[in-house]
Structure 1
Amino acid sequence: MKPRTRDLLIGLALCASGASQAAIYTTQLSGPAEAPPNTSAGTGSAIVNFDTATHVFSIDMSFSGLTGTTTASHIHCCIAPSGTAPVATQVPTFNAFPLGVTSGSYSRTFDTLDITSWNTPFVAANGGTAAGAEAAFAAGLAAGTSYLNVHTTAFPGGEIRGFLTPTATGQVPEPPALALLAISVGALVAARRRRSTSGKAMR
């Protein structure tokens, strides 16, 4: 194997070893998406980022035009789009979720190995550990069987909801891995220049 090829492969391997596995899911929330459907004019959208390497998931959402005022919000798992499922995340609602409003936004990051990030029955149904809940939740997200629900005074069972669907997956290099890759590429460039200069001197 040529030295340049060898160095490039080493650099890429080092980069991959420092990567984290993250998946991004999105949804649009509406009344007709509820089970049973309702005629609420409320709407919303959300992005969920789930990283099994760092054991965190984050949620960023916004909503408006609700008929009633908010009483709770959480993610349910795991069921086909036509049905309902138990709550997987915190109850009675996400920590610090805005209550008593008809519009708002929410952003939060959760530790998936912290048992308080999960609904107790969901943990019990998946091995009795936070790791088991994390694995079941990850599987539900990947399968498209998890949904985000916003409950209100007008619709206690849920005014708007939406199933989370995967939009992007992949390996995201961590800063140390990027640095290693940069060093490897730099070494390749320097070696190539040295060979080019040496070749010219011999002519």
Structure 2
Amino acid sequence: MPHIQTFVAALSAACILTLPASLQAQPVLLGAATATLTGAQEVPPVDSPAIGQAAFRLWDDNGNRSIGYQIRIEGIDFGPATDGDPGTEPTEPLDATALHIHFAPPGENGPIQYGMLGPSHDVNGNVTFTQQTPDRWLIEGSWDVGDGNPGQPFADVNAAIAAILAVPPGEATPFYLNAHTVRNPMGEIRGQLIRLDIAQVPEPGALGLLALGLSVLALAQLRNGRSA
């Protein structure tokens, strides 16, 4: 009998080691945040036709933490800055020059902690820019360990995640997303990251729907405000 028990234990261990990836430990969702980008949130405010919406997810993958994001921006052209052609550098007023996460509360400007485009950008190169319509761009990627702006207090994504999780759901975090352009190099549109209740966050496969739904709502509200 002891030999049988030993054999069963060894077989069980072997089965665990050979489980397909889909059945092994999955990343744990720690939290989420969203941001609506407008020119009015810039300091000082900017009268901009551009608008945007972003969805962020905070992950723990077996001790490796990261912040995944999907950002939709309408009215800013990311093509010249991301096509890799030195002959098409940003020159038009609403051509993008940078896209960053900064550290500061609403109404204040702060230093760059992580960049998707421009100085202090993602060193892993896992950010993608996709033109969805003539006026709308989708930016997707992940802020991983080692990606942040060296020397800044929240350059380490672990510190950034801790700071976001320390904020109660529904309240503003100390981070904002800032899109920079040729005509407004200090910032064309900006959005403070607002922490979400994790119970309201959809399954991972629906993250795109979350960003799209928030984007449609935000665009409608902003347009109604401009036409009022």
Bin the TM-score by the shorter chain: 0.5 to 0.7
Name the counterpart of 1:76: 102
**Cα distance change on mapping 1:72 and 1:19 into 2, 3 Å:** closer
| Separation (CA, whole Å) in 2 of partners of 1:97 and 1:37 | 28
Name the counterpart of 1:55: 65
Q: Which has the larger radius of gyration?
A: 1
Greater relative contact order, per chain length (Cα 8 Å cut-off, separation 6+): 1
| Separation (CA, whole Å) in 2 of partners of 1:137 and 1:76 | 11
| Separation (CA, whole Å) in 2 of partners of 1:58 and 1:97 | 12
Count of residue pairs brought into register by the alignment: 144
1:141 CA displacement: 2.6
TM-score (norm 1): 0.61
1:97 CA displacement: 5.7
Query: Which residues in structure 2 correspond to 1:39-118 (within 5 Å)?
Result: 39-52=47-60, 53-66=63-76, 68-77=94-103, 79-90=104-115, 92=119, 93-94=121-122, 95=125, 96=127, 98=129, 103-111=136-144, 113=145, 115=146, 117-118=147-148
| One-letter amino acid matched to 2:192 | F
Once the two structures are superposed, residues 146-202 of structure 1 have per-residue CA deviations (whole angstroms, 9 ceiling, x without a partner) of 0011000011001001001111326x9xxxxxxxxxxxxxxxxxxxxxxxxxxxxxx
% identical equivalent positions: 25
**Cα distance change on mapping 1:34 and 1:140 into 2, 3 Å:** farther
**Cα distance change on mapping 1:19 and 1:98 into 2, 3 Å:** closer
* Unaligned ranges ≥5, structure 1: 1-16, 173-203
Once the two structures are superposed, residues 79-122 of structure 1 have per-residue CA deviations (whole angstroms, 9 ceiling, x without a partner) of 220101111113514544649x96411111232x2x2x100121
| Separation (CA, whole Å) in 1 of partners of 2:105 and 2:27 | 32
**Preserved CA contact (<8 Å) 2:176 2:192:** yes
* Unaligned ranges ≥5, structure 2: 1-24, 77-92, 168-172, 202-228
TM-score (norm 2): 0.55
Name the counterpart of 1:8: none
